[in-house]
Structure 1
């Protein structure tokens, strides 16, 4: 699956207030590696001023953007770049809402009409770290991603940071895929997994006599508490089958 790390900057927070996109950045990722020579970065004339709060965040003034192309002039290049990909966006509903609004003004449908899927890394982070701060800055700190170059919010640098955060968020998934790859070579106990990594036999450690005694004592005490209903004891000493039954 071809993936695109995407971020936008806008004139304000609410699309319903008529705010517009003024910057788009997108990085292509293939096989979990950024394709450096395939990057999209566009400044856009939003045809309106930025709200003060947004201007303080991105620093892109009306004067700077006045000679930049309007969204209608870049829409084909943008859609061609993201076509058929999986978009990876932090707080995806925000960016998707603005993209849908811009595309809607041009009669070009919604962004999901042009891409395979959208992944929200903010939702992923909230699932992995419930109750904690999961802003892009916070995740960079958590995963030790260097964000020293991020003075103002910019779409391109935010994409670069998000790419590293996404890889960190999903790194464990790769490990699971490798762990559960079936063996295909029939190489025996010390065979080679489907990932090509030599695998040694598992070492089974037997408990010492003291550990066995401590375990039995614990189970005996537990059995007294639950009045003979300890499931572990039932598993260790199953009741004999009644005559005429099949086990």
Structure 2
């Protein structure tokens, strides 16, 4: 891609939250954007407001991913950057049924795998491309009370790492966005976890999108909107047992809070 050519991007989960903010930031920076979401009415509203090209689809399914990439390629000519942003919380603990685990893994992990499978061959041939995964601080640190979310977000980060290792020397930039609390519908749906996720300050989606754009200028792998996550991540790696003890104390506090609310 020529240095002065406009970016051609796809954003999944773009009907609201971080996805809508990413689409807005990209448009503001001169990019041509294809926005997709399974929420057709929300997506249409974003497309009307931003002038993006809308592709209603479920980007967690093989068919949905194929449709998004086919329509985006037809509309844009080529895809330069893919923002794999769609995500779900998905259940709580061991009582979570298998079908919820499967759905969570489909949305939070396999959507990335299916998109990368279709995009990488052409990107490698062209010698450039950018794949940005919206994971979570939970993918680096875990999240109490949310086993499927924690496991799937760890897997999302691991897949992004694998992509970077495998394709990073072939012109492909891979980045993993790992925020803590963000003021989105997902945070509102987190129930008793909402206050915990917001303890370090819940950022606006627009603030997160600004930080993603900044990170795109230096191609850093980890995009950490909450600066304290880097220090927590270091502590986890340097003394895992101490970190786990700290997390168990956090779990005990959360259990106490749940008892008070029942």
TM-score by length of 2: 0.26
Quick check: which one's helix share is greater? 2
Q: Indicate the structure (1 or 2) with the bigger Cα radius of gyration.
A: 1
